[in-house]
Structure 1
Amino acid sequence: MATTKTMGVQVSPDPINKWWYVVSCFVALMVGVNTVNILFNVLGSALTAGFGWSRLELVSGLTLFTVVDGISVLLIGFLVSRYGIRKVAIPAAAMFGLGIGLIGLSPNDLRFFYACCAISGVGAGAVGPSVYSVVVGAWFDDKRGLALGIINVGLGLCGTLMPFLINGLFGAYGWRWTFAVVGLLCGLIPVVAYGAVLRMPRAWDTARVTARSSGKGIGEPLGALLKQRSLWLISISILLVSAATYGMLSQIVAICTDHHIARVTALSILSTASISSIASRLVVGYLLDRLFAPFLACSIFLLCAAGVVVLTQTAQVPVLYGGAVLLGLGLGAEGDIAAYIISRYIDKNSYAKALGIVIFLFAQGGALGVGLLSYTYSITSSYTVAGALIFVLTVLSAFSLLFLGPYRYDVTGAKVTSHHPALPHNNPLGDH
């Protein structure tokens, strides 16, 4: 049987077509980590009305979830490098769904509610794009950008379809049963995907087991990894842009209803951002295989910054739809860009660890955006000031990637010895 080349290593062919990994990740991300953000958007008013909590008290639960999610992503990235995908991801995914479901049992006690948010956050690292990107990135070389883009379309569809599913369940059964049903879906589907389909190439698992037998994890030690300038430039950029995308996504419905826009229109604007992110994921995934990623990312993040200004500075519905489209461009691109660009600047055996670090900071950026918007609103009764601050952070995010320099690794994971600074290594014109 012929061998194939994966991440620069000769391995035996997989018993199934590698695109099935893409399909599985795509479906799992439709009920992935973004579901929590949508639950707060759609059911937030029901919780505040039912319990008498303030908007800040409620959104603090989302902030807590986001912080714990970031820690979870970081830890799961290291645990996967040591123990493999399934032993780590299956129990974590189940915990994510459990935390959501338990909110449906919440008494009028913020401590119980925050505990549920924290439980869900502990498992959230397994149901976001991080681990799925590790799996898909390991199986794809020349079409890696496209494959990563496709799986992240599932994340976009979560934002597009889930608001209407949640709203429909809420209308029919109330918010408690909605949390229970959504929690079941969010736990069960990822567990089945990990248990029945997803796994790493044999060469990767062999390297992991060998490293573990010597008391080490696969790839570079953490200290050496943290000294790499490229890792910090990528991390800072993703942290800052996530403050815009995740922060704004959590508040779009509130921003619109504060301007006396009908709830159904507000949900439609939220869905527009997600639809835009779907198109962005596909287009960006395709372009990452053909264009120099830092230039592409800078352009998209600047458009996202413009969307932040539009959403926080106007109350005109047609203009808000345009702002949602621009925000969606960044929302769709950030995951693809993070997953792809790390593979071109960080050694392939350190990919899971590096992606864990970047996604950890991505989550903290989201918490920063949510907290910034909520706190400034509680003080000023407006999102204008926070919008201006987030705009500045997004512009800084865009330009920080331009300092990365040329790619360090080609698409197979081999170190590049000569470069063309503005072209990807697999461009027909070449780096050489």
Structure 2
Amino acid sequence: MNVQAWQGTPAGSRETRQGWLVVASAMIGVALGLSPIPFYTIGMFAPELSREFGWSFASMMGSIGVQSAVVMVASPLAGFAIDRYGARPVALISLGLFGLCFMSLSLSTGSLTLFYGQWVIMSVLGAGTLSATWTRVVNGWFDKNRGLALGIASSGTGITGFLIKPFAAWIIADFGWRTAFVAIGALPILIGIPMVLWLFRENRKANLAVATPGAEEPVEEYGMTLGQALRSVKFWILAVSFFLISFALTAPTPNLENILRSFKFELAEIGAITASFGLAVIAGRIIGGWLLDRFWAPACAFMILLIPAIGSWLLSGDALGSEGAFAAVLFIGFGAGFEFDLLAFLISRYFGQRNYGVIYGCFYTVIAFGGGLGPVVYGYAFDMTGSYGTALRLGIGFVITGGALLLLLGRYPKWEKEAG
């Protein structure tokens, strides 16, 4: 059997200006998708909905749990659609439907069951706006600078975290919460869809074999099928690793305010400290991506994941000053920003692009499970003990173990195909 080795660079890869424009459009798509918008805005709407309908805060935060549970099922299906029909059409349809679903929350009547049902539909129809859609296309444009490109594209979540809260606060204060749902839901439709139509493109190469000069076909992609990936030890190493990492990095995030409150910080100071989290996420995505291009990714990841471990260690003590609190939030935010860049990079290197969408979707299920479980465990630990110390120390062990497991992945593989 004749084989042709391929070391990870797609045929016709062009790290050109057009590729960076694709990155810019992907960043906007990420920023306006299902992952950041509901997560960063539910806290702004919760007091208004509680006042209007008498819902408890716990029941409203349960909507994030509903989203995580649905995404565990929907993300592999979205990944299959991306592989089958292409990322661009999936992104266009899903952005529009997600925006309409988010706008529909303005019609809430007081039925919590109906509210949860809206979140289920929104999570299914919006799954095409998750990271797999955007990172698949970015991977096709870059090899040498793939980590940096992924980092910039994924920084959209940090941009949302930094900007969406003050925007939501302004709309709610001046026009009411129903108008705010409509205004925020319109963003994916009015901004996201035009950007995807204008700039978001798969990398394509001229095919000299076709009859019509200048015609193009998609770049031929190599790598594992889903079945081959599931039979690979590397798949299960990554699955366990990212369950531990996502648990440890997601669990402190919604609990940060309460963690700092347990150290007797005033509300205004808590707000000032936690505001730095979104900027740290952006830094983690861009700096982490840049480092992935220059060092073996598992070793790079292990070293970077020590940073949020230090952040959790600072929060696990009996006393904490303002400087230590700022450092802890920055360190945890930096690690949280690095997580999705790392996953996209490792999947493209160890499993290839052939079935990237569905493989990424499977790992997103793992992340959704770990990320959904972590905050609950931390909250339960606080309810039982009145402190987050034990939970934070568990998180430290998880993130270090998860990083160490990545060292077992070995060298990047060389993909091979049969000669025709």
- TM-score, structure 1 normalization: 0.83
2:283 maps to which residue?
Answer: 279
1:160-189 Cα shifts (integer Å, max 9, x gaps) = 222222222222223222222111113443
The question of whether the paired residues in 2 share the 8 Å contact of 1:249 and 1:270 is answered with: no
Distance in 2, matches of 1:388 and 1:50, equals 39
* Alignment equivalent of 1:345, drawn from 346, 350, 356: 350
1:27 paired residue number: 28
Determine the C-alpha separation between the residues in 2 that align with 1:324 and 1:392. 18
CA offsets per residue over residues 247-281 of structure 1, 9 Å max, x none? 32223234445666454443333321111121121
One-letter amino acid of the structure 1 residue matched with residue 233 of structure 2: R
Give 1:1-400 correspondences, 5 Å limit. Answer: 8-11=9-12, 17-32=18-33, 33-202=35-204, 206=217, 220-256=224-260, 261-311=265-315, 313=317, 316-377=321-382, 379=384, 382-400=387-405
How many Å apart are 1:49 and its aligned residue? Answer: 4.1
**Residue identity matched to 1:324:** V
Judged with a 3 Å threshold, the aligned counterparts in structure 2 of structure 1 residues 134 and 272 are, in CA distance, closer, same or farther, namely same
Aligned equivalents of 1:103 and 1:18: distance in 2? 36
The equivalences for 1:404-423 within 5 A come to: 404-409=409-414
Partner Cα separation in structure 2 for residue 201 and residue 83 of structure 1 = 15
- Aligned residues of 1:22 and 1:136 also touching (Cα < 8 A): yes
The one-letter code matched in structure 1 to 2:42 is F
User: Is the CA contact 2:381–2:390 (under 8 Å) kept in the aligned structure 1?
Assistant: yes
Which position in structure 1 is the counterpart of 2:211?
none
Higher deviation after alignment, 157-166 or 322-331: 157-166
Contact 1:72–1:124 (CA<8 Å) still a contact in 2? no
53-62 vs 330-339, greater mean Cα deviation: 53-62
- SS of 2:108's partner is coil
The range that moved more, 111-120 or 241-250, is 241-250
Q: CA RMSD for the aligned pairs?
A: 3.1
Q: CA deviation at 1:83?
A: 1.5
Change (3 A) 1:146 1:14: closer
How many angstroms does 1:63 deviate by? 0.7
Conservation of the 8 A alpha-carbon contact between 1:94 and 1:188? no
- Contact 1:231-1:342 at 8 Å conserved across structures: no
Q: Normalized against structure 2, the TM-score is what?
A: 0.85
Partners of 1:347 and 1:23 in 2: how far apart? 23
SS in 2 for 1:126: helix
Per-residue deviation at 1:399?
A: 1.5
Secondary structure of 1:142's aligned partner:
coil
Contact (CA 8 Å) 2:14, 2:141: kept in 1 or not? no
Answer whether contact 2:15 2:142 (CA < 8 A) is retained.
no
Which structure 1 segments of 5+ residues have no match?
212-217, 416-432
1:280–1:8 Cα change, 3 Å = closer
In the aligned structure 1, how far is the partner of 2:263 from the partner of 2:108? 31
Structure 1 residues 332, 179: CA separation in 2 closer, same or farther (over 3 Å shift)? same
> Conserved in 1, the CA contact under 8 Å of 2:225 and 2:354?
no
> Comparing 286-295 with 120-129, which one deviates more in the overlay?
120-129
Indicate if the aligned counterparts of 2:151 and 2:288 stay in contact, CA closer than 8 A: yes
Q: Which has the higher contact order (CA 8 A, sep 6+)?
A: 2
Maintained 8 Å contact 1:29/1:151: yes
- Runs of at least 5 residues in structure 2 that lack an aligned partner in the other structure: 1-5, 208-215
For each residue in 1:79-133, what CA deviation from the matched residue of structure 2 results, as whole angstroms up to 9, or x when unmatched? Answer: 1111112332222222222232222221222111111221221134322322111
